[in-house]
Every structure is written in C-alpha cells, then in structure tokens.
Amino acid sequence: MAREIALPLELEEERPEPRRRWRRLLETGRRHPLGVFGLFCVSLLFFCGIFADLIVPYDPISVIRNTQTYGSLAKDIDAKDTRLVIANPKVETGTNFNIDDERMTVVTVLPPVAVGTQIIVQRGSSAAPHATGTVLKIDEALPLAKPSWSHPFGTDHNARDVFSRVIFGARISLLIGLVAISTGVTAGALLGIISGYFGKIVDTIIQRGVDILLAFPAVVLLLAIITVIGDEDSAVRKFLAKNTPLPEREFIGIPNFLDVTIVALAIGLAVAVFTTRVVRGAVLSIKENVYVDAARAMGASDIRIMRRHIFPNVVALVVILGSVLLPVAILAEATISFLGIGVPIPTPSWGADLSDEKSRQLMLEGYWWPVFFPGFALSLVVLGFNMVGDAFRDLSDPRLRGSGLGGGGGGGGGGGGPI
C-alpha cells in the first residue's frame, strides 16, 4: 500500500497585512500636503457657506453701534432747565449725549455738589422734562474700527462687521458657484453630446454659435449676458419671478435672492459655452467605437445610444469640468461685482466688498482691513480648489503616482505610489 508522504511546501513570500483605511488616508495626505491644505480650504468654504447663520456674530448688513453711558440724572429737570446735576459723571466740555430721545451738548462743567456734578448744556427744540435716574448715553456707529476681539476683521466705512460679511460672503460665492456649474455644465454637456453625435447641420449650427460667443473675451461676454438677462424688464427675470418659487427679496439669509440667482445663471451660460466645445470633442471620439456601431446595427435609437453608450463615457469628463470650473465661477462673480454689475448692494459679497470705491480710497489712508480680508478669502478658496485639483490629478493619473511631480511630492521607486 502506498504511503502518503507529506512533502514540505515551499515558503511563500510573506505579504504585509493590509493597512487600515486611516493609515492609507494618512499616507496619501503625507504624499500630498498641498492637496490636504486645499481640501481644508474647500471644506472651510462649504462649512461657512452652510452654517453662516450660526457662525456670524453680527448681521452682515447691519450697522455696528456702540452705546456709551455718561452717568445719570441726580435731579428732575423740566423742558427749560439747562443746568443738570449728574451722578457718576463721565462728561467734559463738548460731550454729546442723549437723555431719552433728546440730544444735548455739554457747554460747561461746574464744580461738584453734594449729590453730583453740575453741568450747563445746550438743548434743542425738542426739549422735554426728564425724571431722576434717567441715564445719559449716546448710541454711535463704529465706522472703520480696527480689528479687535469684538470685531476680528474690524468694521468698514459703513460700520458693518467685516468678519460677518466675509463669512456670509462664502454662502453667496458657494451658491453662485453651485448654481452656475450645475446649470452651465448640464446644458453644455447636453449640447456637446447632441452636436458631436449628430454632426452635419446640427453640429454646424451649434458650433458656429459657440464660436461667436467664444470670440468675445470672457469678461465682455459676462457683461453682455448680465446686461441682457439682468435688466428689471428682461424676459428671463419676469419668467423667474412669475413661474418659479424663487423669492425676489430675502431667502436663506441672502437679500435680493432673485438678483443673485440671475447672476449665477449668467455665469452658468458662459460656462455652458466652454463645456459644449470640450464635451463635443470627447463625443466625436466615442461615437466611432465598435460598440456604438453594434448598437446602431441592432436597431437602437439615437436617444438610446446617447443615453446608454455616449453619456456614461463622458460623465467622468463632465464631473471633472464641474470641479475645475467651480472656482472659475466664484472668481467670475467677484470680477463682475468688482465692475459694479454683480450682486446688488448691500448683499455681502467678496467681489462687491473689493470693488467698493470708498474702501479702496480709504485703503490708501491706512484702512486696509475692509479690502484685505475679502480678497484674502477669495484667494484662499481659488488656491484651495487648484490644489485639490492638482492632487486629484496626481492620484488618478498612473504616470504621476510616486513620481514626485505635481503637488504630490511622492517617493522615488517604481511601485511606491499612494494606495
């Protein structure tokens, strides 16, 4: 009877245990530190845009006022009295204050008496009697206050809190960017697929229209679009006001919501022009594949071929275009606001705050904070999107994995790409 002999198996190469997901994320972040920084900037934009109402310490369009007290009346006065006795006084000659709704000016400060300090005041035509204990105070606006704990970014020349406007401006930028990209990229992809698939006269009509629009500089094209559809009597505005639930006034904390939406749609139209040309080029290549000819030979309709075979192959390109053009749309809003035709005043917007002529004049006099912080926020967001795009390119392109090119800065060898 044959005996079974156990032969030793060759030792297999030890394989390291799969790294946990968090370790893989940390390793990817280590190889792409600029991408992590960009992701932080983009996340901060979304966080501020979504939770702006909870973050802002002040109303971004309200005037910041400061109330100062100067003591209280120690004796009653009637409408004709100009000599007041003040308890706990903090006044000097020339001080202005209010008692109830009456404004007074200190003319002379007299020596103190037993119950307080005597002052001679100048009263206006609205003089009225006031009772003992009424507080002397003044409520003044705080224009151009320097950055402090109560106002981290200071106040502008209209006495509005710059920090609150910068935070709330993230919501405006995010809304405009998302609306412009969702409408522009969708419309551009649809036109690009139709143009590239059908060709001939359809392609000629669409592409000649795209050529006409692309012949204009981007800023000029935006100016023309907003001039046409942003007018008070434009057909687009009337249609949106009457046939859509978009409110004309305030919505989700954004004043003049309809005007902001029209600006976003105008930017989206400009985005659609560029998207149409890019998607068309991809479709021209895809429709020559064998599986498209096979589907056509089996009797599939044009709509089915575009829906089942063309669109799934360009959807990745459409998503990439949306991510690339989102910061461009945000920058476009700032550009047209800088030119004075963007979101209406006093809507908090980075571009509008940068374009304020009074703030730019005061910047030359040393009041830099009303212009610096909105510009810094805008630059940070655009830089963050670019860094995220570079990191995504490095991660998705096998030729750049582990090469140290782009924003990755990865290791050296052939198989050392991020997992």
Q: Please tell me whether residue 307 adopts helix, strand or coil conformation.
A: helix
Q: Would you state the pLDDT for residue 6?
A: 52
Across 113-177, where does the E strand assignment appear? 117-123, 135-141
**Percent of the chain predicted with pLDDT > 90:** 11
Determine how many CB atoms are found less than 10 A away from the CB of residue 27: 14
Lowest mean pLDDT among 43-47, 102-106, 150-154, 407-411: 407-411
Distance (Å, whole) CA 204 – CA 212: 12
Dihedral (CA of 278, 317, 38, 341) sign = positive
The pLDDT tens digits for 389-403 are: 777 767 765 555 544
The pLDDT tens digits for 126-168 are: 788 888 888 888 877 888 889 989 899 999 988 899 999 999 9
Question: What would the mean pLDDT of 247-254 be, rounded to a whole number?
Answer: 79
Question: What would the mean pLDDT of 217-240 be, rounded to a whole number?
Answer: 78
Q: State residue 388 phi and psi, 5-degree precision.
A: -65, -40
Residue partners of 114: CB distance under 8 A and separation at least 6: none
Distance (Å, whole) CA 158 – CA 141: 8
The angle subtended at Cα 381 by Cα 377 and Cα 387, nearest 5°, is 140
Q: Would you state the pLDDT for residue 187?
A: 92
Distance (Å, whole) CA 259 – CA 318: 27
Distances in whole angstroms, Cα of residue 299 to Cα of each of 262, 294, 295, 303:
43, 9, 7, 12
For residue 184, is pLDDT > 70? yes
The overall longest dimension of the chain from CA atoms, in Å, is: 133
What amino acid is encoded at 181 in this protein?
I
Provide the angle, in degrees to the nearest 10, between the axes of the packed helices 162-198 and 311-338: 140
Name, of 84-93, 222-231, 277-286, the range with top average pLDDT: 277-286
- How high does pLDDT run on average in the chain? 81
Q: Would you state the pLDDT for residue 372?
A: 92
Residue partners of 100: CB distance under 8 A and separation at least 6: 128, 130, 134
Q: What is the pTM of this model?
A: 0.73
β-partners of residue 155 are 161
β-partners of residue 87 are 72
Burial class (CB within 10 angstroms; exposed 0-12, middle 13-18, buried 19+) of 223 = middle
Is 352 in contact with 343 (CB distance < 8 Å)?
A: yes
Distance (Å, whole) CA 43 – CA 35: 12
